[in-house]
Amino acid sequence: MVDMKEPMESHIYAPLLRASVSQWRQQGKKGVWIKLPIQLANLVEPTVKEGFRYHHAESDYLMLVHWIPDSPDALPANASHIVGIGAFVMNNKREVLLVKEKHGYFEGKDVWKFPTGVVNQGEDICTAAVREVKEETGIDTEFMEILAFRQTHKQFLGKSDLFFVCMLRPLSFDITKQDSEIKAAQWIPIDEYVNQTYNREHKSFEYIARICSTKSQGSYGGFSAVRPSSGKQNYLYFNGQDFKP
């Protein structure tokens, strides 16, 4: 793993890289990772000319990799999935918190849907669900359970998508919608949400609506989040069988 930090002219860098790859080959090294910060973008071309390929990029760096041996490349691929959440929030009147979006896929479709969003790097699914509801509707919530999840492929940027349907308990009720993204936000009776034409015409949405409706009647158990004392990750246990971790 080479983490480049100091500025360097490409005519100096190229022969140094070439000599390093030769030395790594003699040492039996296999995979080489070079991290180039954005301020060293001048070194991308000479790195590629030495046999490196793009692996992934973030806002402030590009990662390039090279498999040295004459054998199949065994370097792990870039992250394959994007993780998203949909938030099922219901008050004691059996009304569900729903939104209509201004932009994106649902623009102009007149569909009431759950608040949704993408989980940030290093963010728990539970935290992301609470955050998205707050951002889109101004409603404070508490995470309760994951009710369902689905996997789809060839979505945004060709990635696969994992989408988690989360049940949250409302802690406030007065809506303040996010004007930049949300056209409308409202508490709507759950039966009205479930019976939307769009849900009936799209099986995955109908399936999720049926799960949430069943949960609202107390006939369904999901996954609750338990943080073990030995680590910082959230582990999700199925609680429908009264499992006590």
Residues near 101 by Cβ (< 8 Å), separated by ≥ 6?
A: 107, 113, 181, 182, 183
pTM value is 0.78
Distance between CA 237 and CA 245 in Å, rounded?
8
Could you give the CA distance from residue 66 to residue 170 in angstroms, rounded to a whole number? 50
Q: Alpha-carbon distance 229 to 56, whole Å? A: 33
What per-residue confidence (pLDDT) applies to 230? 56
Active-site residue list: 135
Give the 3-state secondary structure of residue 16.
Answer: helix
Largest CA distance in the chain: 71
Q: Is 152 helix (H, G, I), strand (E, B) or coil?
A: strand
Residues 108-157 have pLDDT tens digits of 888 999 999 999 988 999 999 999 999 999 999 999 999 999 998 988 77
d(CA 207, CA 204): 5
Structure tokens at 195: 């019976």
Which segments of the chain have a pLDDT < 70? 226-245
Distance CA 125, CA 143 (A): 9
